[in-house]
Amino acid sequence: MSKQTEYVARLPDAKGQLHFPQDEHDIWQALYERQLDNLPKFACTEYQEGLKKLALCDDRIPQLTEIDKVLLDCTGWRTAAVPALISFEKFFALLANKEFPVATFIRSKDEFDYLREPDIFHEVFGHCPLLTNPSFAHFSHIYGKLGLAASKEDRVFLARLYWFTVEFGLIQKSDNSLEIYGGGILSSPGETLYAMGSTPEIRPFNLLDVLRTPYRIDIMQPVYYAIDSIEYLDEIVKMDIMGAVAEAKKLGLFEPLFEPKSKAS
């Protein structure tokens, strides 16, 4: 997770407050307004309820201290300001301590539709509403504890579980309709419409399959995995996740459904 970034994070002041220039608040407002029409149609109910609890402003980037008050009351979580991309070790340690890392910068206008690295809109708007939900919060906590204790090799497999749930997870209802709970989709207007369209393949969640599915971070996803409700995350944490990781390592990865990233890109 620790890579070079083109963004410059805003550092909190002595009171824990973040200060952004007006043009960055304008980007937040534009992103918020673009997604607002999509949420009632595509976002899962639990996400929409969490968004109401957070009461995010649509015209400015919120302070993390405002988010923390709500999360602490709902599930005992809080945010943790981080400068940019962080190491797996730091990421898992924060989740294991019920702290959700929030990179304190916002994307540029040319990355509105798809973001290659998580910004404050992705983290706060995409993920924090569901951290008010006990099932999602518990899954994130257990995931962090597993990752903290895992080997470097095993963490690569665990990253796929996070990718296809917390980041790009879908819910498929009994009537086959789809809802979004993955923050990577919910924070991207472009990926929201793409995921709800006819292009990607939707597969039922299977732990071993998820762990064996390769992905690329810089493209729209060719495949998503769907659970039947947000409460199913409680069932996943009861599974032998690390046993499934060991089995996935033996079996190897599926053939990717995308072209390899060119050396020039």
pLDDT, tens digit (0-9, with 9 covering 90-100), for 3-58: 556 788 898 898 889 999 999 999 999 999 999 889 999 999 999 999 999 999 99
- Does residue 72 surpass a pLDDT of 90? yes
Reduce the DSSP state of residue 108 to 3 states and report it: coil
Beta-bridge partners for 101? 80
3-state helix, strand, coil in the chain (%, to 5): 50, 10, 40
The helix (run of H) or strand (run of E) holding residue 79 is: strand 78-82
Q: List, by residue number, the catalytic residues.
A: 122, 127, 167, 187
Provide the mean pLDDT of the chain.
93
- Angle 35-38-44 from CA coordinates, rounded to 5°: 110
Helix (H, G, I), strand (E, B) or coil at 171: strand
pLDDT band at 264 (very low <50, low <70, confident <90, very high): very low
